[in-house]
Chains A and B, each alone.
Chain A
Amino acid sequence: MFSKPGSGPAVLRKVTQEASKVDPAKRRDFLKKGLMVAGGAIAGTQFASTLHASQNNLPPNLPEWSKSLGAGVITNPYGQPSAFEGGIVRRTVPWLTADRIAAISFTPLAELDGIITPSGLVFERYHAGVPTINPDEYRLMIHGLVENPLVFTIDDLRRFPSTTAINFLECPANGGMEWRAAQMDALQFTHGMISCCEWTGVLLSTLLEEVGVKPEGKWVLAEGSDGSHMSRSIPMEKALDDTLIVYAQNGEPLRPEQGYPVRIFNPGWEGNTSVKWLRRLEVGDKPWYHREETSKYTDLLADGRARKFSYVQEGNSVVTFPCPEKPLKQKGRYELEGLAWSGNGKIKHVDVSFDGGVNWKRARLKGLVLPKALTRFSLDFTWDGSPALIQSRSTDESGYVQPTFTQLREARGNSSIYHKNAIHTWRLHADGTVTNVQIS
């Protein structure tokens, strides 16, 4: 039903082969752990060591790796994560979409620290798959209600002054499967349509100044060059504010999955507006009302009317530890962690409840607290083995307080699909496991 961890077919076959040699009683455990390391090409003998942590490598003994040489430089010209971390991968929910070409995958939030999402783990959303674009054949056209319609190459774009910003990127359907009821028992699937990267490019305002927008130009159409030719109407106020034309992500060229070689990026706004594989910007005097801003990405309310151009991703938060993927294994001291974000600016504070929202404690914000970026929060706690209903609630600098599910449903009903940012509840059981629930 769900995609499996591990990405390298050859490695998976090896796991399967190795599994056949193992005591049947241990086979299940073997496959589970073997798949956790799949994704990196590691030898069968090394698997054994991952399965049975050898006493020989623990104090007071000298571990194997201390008595030999390891691999030399550029063994991996482009470095890869440790083979032991092969379970940290994007996953999908196949029944969500008709196929894998127009589909979505989820970021493994439970496995990540800090606020930056590694480029290879940023959730994917395609409408016609990932196109292969030779950067020498790339062009960005800006035309419409402008004085000088222009075509830019990558080299052209890189000649303009660049801007770098750390911002979250979130699909407005993030958590959409939970509108009617708790459905997904994993943080990766309840909240994994979000990531946060350092984006570098040229401000759209700089390019619009270069082409010279005519006074009647009030909207910008952004259009992709993939088979879907994704198109969204963006108001001029945003285009002249912080919209970036991005060519780099986390210090390197954009990943193909993220729009290589160039995407538009609208900080704090629904991810769909940050059109990938950008080929064209047209300035007009009215919005275009294309498929992705009428049929999709509009929010149907209980009374049958629908909210349109609901661009901003409002304040949100979720506890990332403990969570279904990261249960508590014993009683004692812990640091609860979570992520908060708001498309309206910085996170001001985050509160945490262990009793389903009756009483709250102020969490601390860790590391960088940036506008329109993931913000990490934490709270020390001691677990005495009692069950708990764990929640987090963010407040952003505009004063917006993340709503309860009851409040959100009262305002919108159950059919909005998009922009579900309600306070989330994890149920901590007496055995330390964690499940997804909704509460009154």
Chain B
Amino acid sequence: MFRLAKMVYVVLLFTLLVAAMPASAKAGGYGIGTPATSDEIAGWDIDIRPDGKGLPPGSGSVEDGEMMYEQKCASCHGSFGEGVGRYPVLAGGEGTLTDERPEKTVGSYWPYASTLWDYIHRAMPFTQPQSMTDDEVYAITAYVLYLNDLVEDDFVLTADNLASVEMPNQDGFFFDDRPDTSNTACMKDCKDPASVKITSEPAIATLQEEEQEVEVEQVAEGGEKVYQQACMMCHGGGVAGSPMTGDMAAWAARIAQGRDKLVSNAIVGIGVMPPKGGQSQLSDEEVASAVDYMIQQATQD
């Protein structure tokens, strides 16, 4: 009698436990997470593969790409893909991979054209990622391929022909095969002491230089700090047709439009300059303070 009651109890408990498990538990069994809808996936699934998988429908010509490139890319990458300052060089460098200073560009190094489309679409222009239409990406990709002499000037890039663009260095890569060195943990008389020679030392004393520069350090605050964060990248060098900081001639006509106009241009964007220089987290007041700083730089003696 007592035994039977216990059995019933156990069965009941087991039933309760099973009932308590989430109904949605499948595969891994935790039943955590929400199904991803096809719309949600479509919105985020942007990756492109060498075989062209992932490319959206569309097309763009070298001819169309030239103008867009000049407008959206040349300020950093140079009109011929030669690179401005430390920004990446996109073209040239063929046959330099074994040189002392190899020039690794789209044409000389990149194995697949798909990478170019994927990256331009994913991350460019630097200050306004994913702001371009698919056709614009096709056109600019076509133009960069043209800058590298990989396609003719009448070429039109499409979802169907991108995978067939042959890149010169496609076979230049191999899978990781390290370790490629085999040192031994020798402990005594491992080499001839006379063979130990200093082969190189830094040309400049890093730490001393740092200390010397500390004395002339001007500390950025307010508008100058915002300027350094959001504006200097372009205005510091006058790239993309922007008025260079401190260039009185370039700023005079703009200042004549009045401060409010300049502030509003900076907030909403003008020409190739994105709103707030691409730093959307800045408040309007912070942007205005940077404008004031640049006006001050252009008007001081």
Stretch at the interface among A333-341, A371-379, A430-438: A430-438
Give chain A interface residues in 126-146, CB to chain B under 8 Å: 127-129, 132, 141-143
Q: How far is the CA of A150 from the CA of B34 in the complex (A)?
A: 5
B39 to chain A, nearest CB (A): 12
Which of A101, A303, A407 has a CB less than 8 Å from the CB of B181?
Answer: A407
Q: Does A56 count as interface, using CB distance less than 8 angstroms?
A: no
Q: Is B115 touching A295 in the complex (CB atoms < 8 A)?
A: yes
Closest residue of B by beta carbon distance from A303:
B98
B206 to chain A: which residues have CB within 8 Å? 2, 184-186, 189, 324
User: Interface residues of B, CB < 8 Å — how many?
Assistant: 96
Looking at chain B's contact residues, is the secondary structure mostly helix, strand, loop, or mixed?
loop
Q: Is A99 touching B233 in the complex (CB atoms < 8 A)?
A: yes
The number of chain A residues touching the other chain, given as a range, is 35 or more
Q: Is B118 touching A291 in the complex (CB atoms < 8 A)?
A: yes
A435 to chain B: which residues have CB within 8 Å? 201-202, 205
Q: Is A143 touching B35 in the complex (CB atoms < 8 A)?
A: no
B176 to chain A: which residues have CB within 8 Å? 307-312
B211 to chain A: which residues have CB within 8 Å? 32
Give chain A interface residues in 76-103, CB to chain B under 8 Å: 95-102
Q: Is A280 touching B207 in the complex (CB atoms < 8 A)?
A: no
Which of A183, A211, A295 has a CB less than 8 Å from the CB of B104?
Answer: A295
A164 to chain B: which residues have CB within 8 Å? none
B24 to chain A, nearest CB (A): 10
Stretch at the interface among A43-51, A67-75, A117-125, A395-403: A395-403
Besides the known contacts A212-B26, A284-B49, A308-B174, 13 further A-B residue pairs in the complex with CB atoms under 8 A apart: A28-B215, A101-B233, A142-B36, A149-B35, A151-B36, A185-B205, A185-B206, A227-B129, A231-B122, A290-B115, A358-B190, A427-B201, A438-B198
User: Could you give 17 example pairs across A and B, Cβ below 8 Å?
Assistant: A1-B209, A2-B213, A98-B87, A102-B126, A129-B279, A141-B36, A148-B35, A160-B30, A210-B27, A223-B46, A229-B123, A300-B97, A304-B98, A307-B173, A358-B192, A360-B190, A402-B183
Give chain B's interface residues, CB within 8 Å of chain A. Answer: 26-30, 32-36, 40-41, 44-51, 76, 85-87, 97-98, 100-102, 104, 106, 109-112, 114-115, 118-119, 122-123, 126, 129-130, 172-193, 195-207, 209-211, 213-215, 217, 219-221, 225, 228-229, 232-233, 279, 281
Give chain A's interface residues, CB within 8 Å of chain B. Answer: 1-2, 4-5, 9-10, 12-13, 16, 27-28, 31-32, 35, 95-102, 127-129, 132, 141-143, 147-152, 156, 159-160, 181-186, 189, 206-212, 221, 223, 227-229, 231, 279-280, 282, 284, 286, 288-291, 294-295, 298, 300, 302-312, 314, 324-325, 349, 351, 355-362, 389, 393, 395, 400-404, 407-408, 411-412, 414-415, 427, 435-440
